[in-house]
Amino acid sequence: MGYGITSAEAIKQALPHLGVELVTVQPRRRRWPDLERQRLAWLIDGQKALLSLDLSQFDLIFIFHSFQHFPAEVRRILFDLKSPLPIAGYTHGSHWDPTDVFRTIHYPGMEVVDLANLLCLDRVLLPSYYLRDVLLENIGRWKPEVAKQLEPKLAVVGLPINTNQMDAFHTTEKFERPTIVFNHALIPSKAPTVFLEIAEELLERHDVNVIITRHAEDESVAALLQRLSKRFPHRFLVGETYSLPDYFRLLWKADLQVSTAIHEGLGIATLEAMYTENCCLLPNCCSYPEITGGFQDVLYNSREELLDKIDYFLKNEAERRKVACELRRRSLRYAPEQVASRLYATFSEILRV
């Protein structure tokens, strides 16, 4: 799971339909004793694979994740090889977003490196206008002239949900009772402990299922999951990270999705739940108002309002289904062909310049 698998694959499938000849720089995977070393080796081997290409045959370099393959390193390669190729690359989050605690926890002190990578791009591809505003505000607070230099490089194009994969695993089956899914990473910026407190209260008050789709690395979160599993056997389910087929089938079978995130640059997990006709209840902050088109029925401002809305939609199935259908319609703005067309327009504009 994760946008790096589903969204990247959707882009690779969609761009050729617009006449883009896409060559993927895909190094051979080598076996290492742990996943982290394997990932790092893959990143380094990606640069080596770039060196093996005849760069004169290409128009543009497209980097899916600018904090994986650093644009600054790619730019240095181009300078040394005297290649004029422009570079466009996504930033899916940033050290310059104070709520993006994943980066500050795992990569502390790299704010300037993060910013340097953005400045080395010809176009910075963004998943949301929310992230654009956050970047400009916080960089501008530090160095106004740098924010002005960055601003014309920013292009909001969104990220695609992989509709083909979700459709391939469509099912009309439903769980035996209303089912609430929490399909976010169990990291601090998604506030999983807040959701688990709410889930316990819901399981006490309603005959519902609650499903957690991801594995918990944090020991305290894992302990909470274990306690709730013992207290509510057969109704509180922990998937420990499902396979993609099982994950998408689960979303089609579920009824409600909840987010308690304090950081969200777009919300692929929520868009996937919207597309699979879940009634999603979301904080009225971050990118959620943007991806739902300001749909106030599903946005909440407090814990009490969230509980009230869950109670309402559990008791009113017809309204729940109506909202779920509307959310699916709004999710289609992030279908692969929609996002690919925005990418194509951005790439064309770069080449015209």
Q: Which residue has the tokens 């302990």?
A: 223
**In the predicted model, is pLDDT for residue 30 greater than 90?**
no
- If phi > 0 it is left, if psi is from -120 to 50 it is alpha, else beta; for residue 181 that is beta
**In the predicted model, is pLDDT for residue 110 greater than 90?**
yes
Give me the chain's average pLDDT, please. Answer: 95
Tell me the fold of 3-23+58-160+336-352: Rossmann fold (3.40.50)
pLDDT above 70 as % of the chain? 99
- DSSP of 263-302: --SS-HHHHHHHHTT-EEEEESSTTHHHHTTS-GGGEESS
Q: What is the pLDDT of residue 2?
A: 65
Local structure of residue 332 (DSSP, 8 states): G
Of the candidates 135, 20, 260, the one whose C-alpha atom is nearest the C-alpha of residue 269 is 260
Same fold, 3-23+58-160+336-352 and 163-333: yes
**In the predicted model, is pLDDT for residue 70 greater than 90?**
yes
- Residue of higher predicted confidence among 147 and 25: 147
Tell me the per-residue pLDDT of 160-214, one tens digit each, with 9 for 90 and over: 999 999 999 999 999 999 999 999 999 999 999 999 999 999 999 999 999 999 9
Of the candidates 291, 237, 227, 233, the one whose C-alpha atom is nearest the C-alpha of residue 259 is 291
Q: What is the pLDDT of residue 35?
A: 85
Q: Which residue has the tokens 């400009």?
A: 136
**In the predicted model, is pLDDT for residue 100 greater than 60?**
yes
Sign of CA dihedral 124, 155, 286, 97: positive
The superfamily in CATH containing domain 163-333 is: Glycogen Phosphorylase B; (3.40.50.2000)
The interaxial angle of helices 192-205 and 303-315, nearest 10 deg, is 40
In Å, how far are 87, 311, 314 from 279, measured between CA atoms?
39, 12, 10
**In the predicted model, is pLDDT for residue 239 greater than 80?**
yes
Residue ranges per structural domain of the chain: 3-23+58-160+336-352, 163-333
**pTM for the full predicted model:** 0.94
Tell me the per-residue pLDDT of 111-139, one tens digit each, with 9 for 90 and over: 999 999 999 999 999 999 999 999 999 99
Going by C-beta distance under 8 Å and a sequence separation of 6 or more, which residues neighbour residue 282? Answer: 258, 259, 267, 270, 288, 292, 298, 299, 300
Q: From CA 243, how far away is CA 237, in angstroms rounded? A: 15
- Residue of higher predicted confidence among 30 and 219: 219
**In the predicted model, is pLDDT for residue 69 greater than 80?**
yes
- 230 three-class SS: helix
Q: What is the pLDDT of residue 191?
A: 96
**In the predicted model, is pLDDT for residue 28 greater than 90?**
no
CB 276 within 8 A of CB 252: yes
Give the mean pLDDT of 273-289. Answer: 98
Using pLDDT thresholds of 50, 70 and 90, give the confidence band for residue 1: low
Encoded tokens for 88: 């466009």
In this structure, the number of other CB atoms found within 10 A of the CB of residue 308 comes to 12
Using pLDDT thresholds of 50, 70 and 90, give the confidence band for residue 315: very high
